[in-house]
């Protein structure tokens, strides 16, 4: 059996986003990736592995279950998945990090991580004050009540300041449910992202059609996490959750969609205006001023947002244990790519070509990599091809140009 020269794993993690500047690696900030990467740099070696998040979360956004892609490049290293997860959790606990490894799963080495993701589910949690909790004089304006008498929107309450957002009245749950029906289904999210999101879409050359997404939106009743310790708050607050299910998202999409729903429930936007924003057409200058006017809700704070789950494609995941001629061929090509990489000169970062290998003997190649599972047959000094063998598909010829 031919084994690939690199092994891939999915690392399911949970973390408190309030302590990290997002999940993706950033050399100038502390992120979830950079924190875990320190462990592998110490115990595995920086050049022998790579780590990359499959689902991006911004600063302050939490994850109940996110997935990071781990690639081990050392073919000789034996990996005990359970032991590695235990060591990593112990390291994170010792460093007082708010990250935990839930499980490690080996994935097919020939599959790109994006192919294995079926859909992602997010949850936004918030609480609504049922009534004004402090006496207010008749001359007090609504804006004064919101900024002085009640906790400021987004700061949370006494036991949810890092995981829930509090909203002050007025608030209509019926309008919240109505907006959820409007957003659910095929939705154009062009106006639900930032300039960074638009630049990312242009860089990927996705086109305007990619803004049309299939999204499932559901509003359900939530509950306080510490109800037993503070039961008196249950009579003063209503907890709600908005669940989002989709294959992919763009920058700040969910927080802005929740902002539109909350703004409509707080009677800051009309139904016609909400439909116009979700139509995907470019907004006028007056419409933009309406979205960004003082005391209006557009983009919600990050602390109420959780990445609940990243669902995997089980059929593709099971391919990791399958053996067939096609997979053996891919493993052979993985060997060949590794050989080309290992035999490059130290003074140049450019990989060698198959033609360069014709100048080396098999003994010279064996100095850098074990060729027990792969045979490269050089057909003469001026050979125009190599033959990759050891596959049930027969001899595979790779031409040199």
CATH code of residue 281: 3.30.70.660
- pLDDT tens digit string along 141-190? 555 544 444 444 544 444 456 778 888 778 889 999 999 999 999 989 98
Tell whether 194 and 66 lie within a shared domain.
no
Tell whether 25 and 101 lie within a shared domain.
yes
Domain that holds residue 167: 119-311
Residue 166 has a pLDDT of 82
Residue 335 has a pLDDT of 59
Tell whether 159 and 268 lie within a shared domain.
yes
Structural domain ending residue among the three candidates 311, 339, 358: 311
pLDDT tier at 260, thresholds 50, 70, 90: very high
pLDDT tier at 14, thresholds 50, 70, 90: very high
Domain membership of residue 11 (yes or no) is: yes
Tell whether 175 and 215 lie within a shared domain.
yes
pLDDT tier at 204, thresholds 50, 70, 90: confident
Residue 74 has a pLDDT of 64
Domain membership of residue 258 (yes or no) is: yes
Tell whether 69 and 124 lie within a shared domain.
no
Domain membership of residue 376 (yes or no) is: yes
Tell whether 102 and 166 lie within a shared domain.
no
Percent of the chain with pLDDT over 90: 25
Tell whether 288 and 346 lie within a shared domain.
no
| Average pLDDT, integer, range 313-335 | 69
Domain membership of residue 2 (yes or no) is: no
The burial of 156, by beta-carbon neighbours within 10 Å (0-12 exposed, 13-18 middle, 19 or more buried), is given as: buried
Residue 121 has a pLDDT of 96
Q: How many CB atoms lie within 10 A of CB 6?
A: 17
Domain membership of residue 319 (yes or no) is: no
24: domain CATH number is 3.30.70.580
Domain membership of residue 188 (yes or no) is: yes
Of 35-44, 59-68, 244-253, the poorest mean pLDDT is in: 35-44
* Domain count of the fold of the chain: 3
- pLDDT tens digit string along 100-112? 999 998 888 777 8
CB 376 within 8 A of CB 386: yes
Q: In the predicted model, is pLDDT for residue 281 greater than 50?
A: yes
Structural domain ending residue among the three candidates 51, 78, 110: 110
Tell whether 11 and 92 lie within a shared domain.
yes
Tell whether 257 and 290 lie within a shared domain.
yes
| Average pLDDT, integer, range 227-238 | 64
Tell whether 223 and 289 lie within a shared domain.
yes
Tell whether 336 and 389 lie within a shared domain.
yes
Structural domain ending residue among the three candidates 50, 82, 110: 110
pLDDT tier at 261, thresholds 50, 70, 90: very high
Helix (H), strand (E), coil (C) string for the chain: CCCCCCEEEEEEEEECHHHCCCCCCCCCCCCHHHHHHHHHHHHCCHHHEEEEECCCCCCCCEEEEEEEEEEECCCCCCCCHHHHHHHHHHHHHHCCCCEEEEEEEEECCCCCHHHHEEEEEEEEEEEEECCCCCCCCCCCCHHHHHHHHCCCCCCCCCCCCCCCEEECCCCCHHHHHHHHHHHCEEEECHHHCCHHHHHHHHHCCCCHHHHEEEEEEEEEECCCCCCCCCHHHHHCEEEEEEEEEECCCCCCHHHHHHHHHHHHHCCCCCHHHHHHHCCCCCCCHHHHHHHCCCCCCCCCCHHHEEEEEEEECHHHHHHHHCCCHHHHHHHHHHHHHHHHHHCCCCCCCCCCCHHHHCCCCHHHHHCCCCCCCCCEEECCCCCCEEEECCCCCCCEEEECC
Which one is predicted more confidently, 379 or 75?
A: 75
pLDDT, mean over the chain: 75
Give the orientation angle of helix 173-183 with respect to helix 253-265, to 10 degrees. 140
Residue 379 has a pLDDT of 38
Residue 111 has a pLDDT of 79
Residue found by looking up tokens 């080309």 in the block: 340
Residue 113 has a pLDDT of 86
pLDDT tier at 325, thresholds 50, 70, 90: low
Residue 152 has a pLDDT of 47
Closest CA relative to residue 59, chosen from 23, 101, 35: 23
Domain membership of residue 1 (yes or no) is: no
pTM across the whole model: 0.75
Tell whether 302 and 342 lie within a shared domain.
no
Domain membership of residue 320 (yes or no) is: no
Q: In the predicted model, is pLDDT for residue 328 greater than 70?
A: no
């Amino acid at each position: 059996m031919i084994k690939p020269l690199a092994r891939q794993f999915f690392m399911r993690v949970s973390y408190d986003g309030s302590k990290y500047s997002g999940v993706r690696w950033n050399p100038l900030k502390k992120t979830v990736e950079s924190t875990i990467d320190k462990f592998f740099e110490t115990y595995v070696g920086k050049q022998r592995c790579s780590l990359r998040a499959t689902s991006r979360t911004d600063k302050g956004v939490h994850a109940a279950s996110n997935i990071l892609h781990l690639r081990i490049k050392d073919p000789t290293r034996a990996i005990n998945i359970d032991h590695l997860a235990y060591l990593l959790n112990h390291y994170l606990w010792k460093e007082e990090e708010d990250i935990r490894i839930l499980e490690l799963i080996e994935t097919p080495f020939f599959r790109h991580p994006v192919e294995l993701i079926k859909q992602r589910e997010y949850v936004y949690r918030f609480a609504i004050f049922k009534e004004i909790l402090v006496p207010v004089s008749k001359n007090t304006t609504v804006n004064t009540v919101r900024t002085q008498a009640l906790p400021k929107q987004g700061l949370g309450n006494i036991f949810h300041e890092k995981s829930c957002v509090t909203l002050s009245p007025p608030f209509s749950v019926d309008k919240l449910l109505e907006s959820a029906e409007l957003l659910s289904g095929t939705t154009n999210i062009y106006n639900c992202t930032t300039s960074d999101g638009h630049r990312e879409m242009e860089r990927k050359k996705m086109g305007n059609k990619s803004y049309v997404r299939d999204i499932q939106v559901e509003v359900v009743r939530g509950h306080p996490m510490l109800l037993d310790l503070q039961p008196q708050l249950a009579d003063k607050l209503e907890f709600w959750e908005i669940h989002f299910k989709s294959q992919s998202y763009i920058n700040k999409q969910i927080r802005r969609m929740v902002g539109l729903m909350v703004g409509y429930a707080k009677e800051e936007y009309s139904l016609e205006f909400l439909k116009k924003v979700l139509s995907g057409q470019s907004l006028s200058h007056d419409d933009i001023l309406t979205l960004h006017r003082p005391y209006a809700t557009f983009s919600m704070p990050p602390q109420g947002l959780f990445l609940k789950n990243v669902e995997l494609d089980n059929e593709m995941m099971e391919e990791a244990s399958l053996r067939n001629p096609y997979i053996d061929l891919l493993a052979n090509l993985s060997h060949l790519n590794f050989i080309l990489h290992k035999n490059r000169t130290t003074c140049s970062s450019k990989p060698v070509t198959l033609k360069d290998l014709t100048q080396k003997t098999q003994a010279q190649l064996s100095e850098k990599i074990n060729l027990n599972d792969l045979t490269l047959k050089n057909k003469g000094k001026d050979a125009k091809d190599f033959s990759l063998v050891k596959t049930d598909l027969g001899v595979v010829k790779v031409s040199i140009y």
